[in-house]
Structure 1
Amino acid sequence: MVFTSRAGGASSSPYDSFNLGDHVGDDPDAVAANRERLARILGLDDIVWMEQIHSHNVTVVDGPQPGPVEATDALVTTQRGLALGVLVADCVPVLLADHVHGVVAAAHAGRLGARNGIVSRTVAKMVELGAQPGAIQVVLGPAASGRHYEVPAEMAADVEKHLPGSRTRTEQGTVGLDIRAGLVRQLMGLGVTNIEADPRCTIEDEDFFSYRREGTTGRQAGLVWLP
């Protein structure tokens, strides 16, 4: 499992410099160079990306794809050496792996996707393919933290209803969301207890791209694969 930052790439401002998103207005050649460098450094032959749409759609892939997998926000595979990638700039990148039973997944858990069950649906699909909840390891990557993710009270109440444990207060005392906290609670309810959550906040940490902080910006990635 790997998470990238914004350092060490070929992209120019405001995508500087290791932007891996090909849908944000960056020079396609720079994005291609960044993706090639990522694959080379990690020793990967193939990385499968998604056309992320903030849905709860989960797709199983069994080999390299000609382009991003359309209209999905989670990928699952049992194929060794096939890396699954998720792109984010405040949303939660969720990487899941059951190395005992040979199933891995990557999920894009933004507010809407998390609210609508993208992570629970991903776990269910992994179990269909032979994974066991008690054997699944999960890492939640850098994302908008509850300290800074301010939202309207109605929105927070709606997300809390569907993802209990996510409503919080920001540092300013306003209503906020901590999507990672809600996801940890959800995962534990599913019997997945081997969970690590990176505490870094993309809104406050300039080592990462942040849509909330910058508007026009790049995307970092989380990747998972079976060796």
Structure 2
Amino acid sequence: MTAATGIDAISVDLGEGVRAFFTTASGGVSPAPWAGPSGPGLNLGLNVSDDVVRVRENRARLGVVLDGAPVAFATQVHSDRVIPLGSRDRSRWSTEPAPESAGHGDALVTAEPGLGLGVLVADCVPVLLADPEAGVVGVAHAGRKGTAAGVALRALESMTERGARPDRVRAAVGPAVCGRCYEVPDELRDEVSAAVPSAFARTSWGTPALDLPAAVSAQLSGAGVAVTRVRRCTLEDETFFSHRRATARGTATGRQAGVVALA
């Protein structure tokens, strides 16, 4: 989607009445080092030294895609904590200027129409979840710690408490650093793969690695959820922000997002 909003984003189908997409680095107002590959960047993170006014403008562009719905974000702390949001939160996030955080946690769930949920990433795995029949959606931020702790499964559990059924839930696992690139020490790979065996991987050059998108997909599939993967590596593909790539270059970078909302 680009024409109507200027945002460069990847739409995913999570069912009738659900809007879901993953942003890229392009389509906003942020200059380098938060820019996209060919112009101003859509940095959505408030904790990467970008100007707060620019970030709020970038976030406001998400609402255009959602027909004016606000998008809530959490302060992500690599946990398995789920934050449920409702009508009060929709009113709060509709105010100007928008609040900076829905609280400390790594998953958001709501049954409130017209309230977008956002998850910020720059190599970690963004997960979008929806049960259109029950009218419940969720997002999860699955980094190494969150994947091992089952943060996507905790989001699914919170959705089922609100009427969702795992066999009706659709999930989209978005762009993230892939198992060919996410090099880690042996002991770290052993620790995470002990909790989630499908995380075990090797880099393309033969060293220990973690495949977090595969791990999260396996967790959700094992719970009966239909999973779609966007198989693009944020480290290899400069269309996306990447913390690892920026660190190697000695610079800062922005945050893209996965967003879902009930229409």
Q: TM-score, normalised by structure 1?
A: 0.97
Q: Is 1:57 matched up with 2:81?
A: yes
Q: Distance in 1 between matches of 2:218 and 2:153?
A: 11
1:159 aligns with 2:192: yes
Residue 259 of structure 2 is matched in structure 1 by: 223
Aligned partners of 1:158, 1:13: CA distance in 2, in Å?
37
Matches within 5 A, 1:95-110: 95-110=128-143
How many pairs does the alignment contain? 226
Identity among equivalent pairs (%): 46
Q: Give runs of ≥4 in structure 1 deviating > 6 Å.
A: none
Q: How does 1:161-176 map to 2 (within 5 A)?
A: 161-176=194-209
Preserved CA contact (<8 Å) 2:78 2:146: yes
Cα-Cα RMSD: 1.0
Aligned to 1:71: 104
Match of 1:124? 157
Among 234, 240, 247, the alignment partner of 1:208 is 240
Any stretches of 5+ residues in structure 2 without a counterpart? Answer: 1-19, 36-40, 93-98
| Correspondence 1:11 to 2:44 | no
Aligned partners of 2:216 and 2:192: how far apart in 1?
11
The one-letter amino acid paired with 2:236 is E
Q: Distance in 2 between matches of 1:37 and 1:98?
A: 25
Aligned to 2:220: 187
CA contact (8 A) 2:123 2:176 kept: yes
Secondary structure (helix, strand or coil) at the match of 1:134 reads coil
Other-structure match for 1:196: 228
- Structure 1, gaps ≥5 residues long: none
User: What's the offset of the Cα at 1:38?
Assistant: 2.1
1:18-29 alignment, distance < 5 Å: 18-29=42-53
Q: Please give the TM-score of this superposition, normalised by the length of structure 2.
A: 0.84
**Aligned pair partner of 1:145 in 160, 163, 178:** 178
**Aligned partner of residue 8 in structure 1, secondary structure:** strand
1:183: how far off?
Answer: 1.2
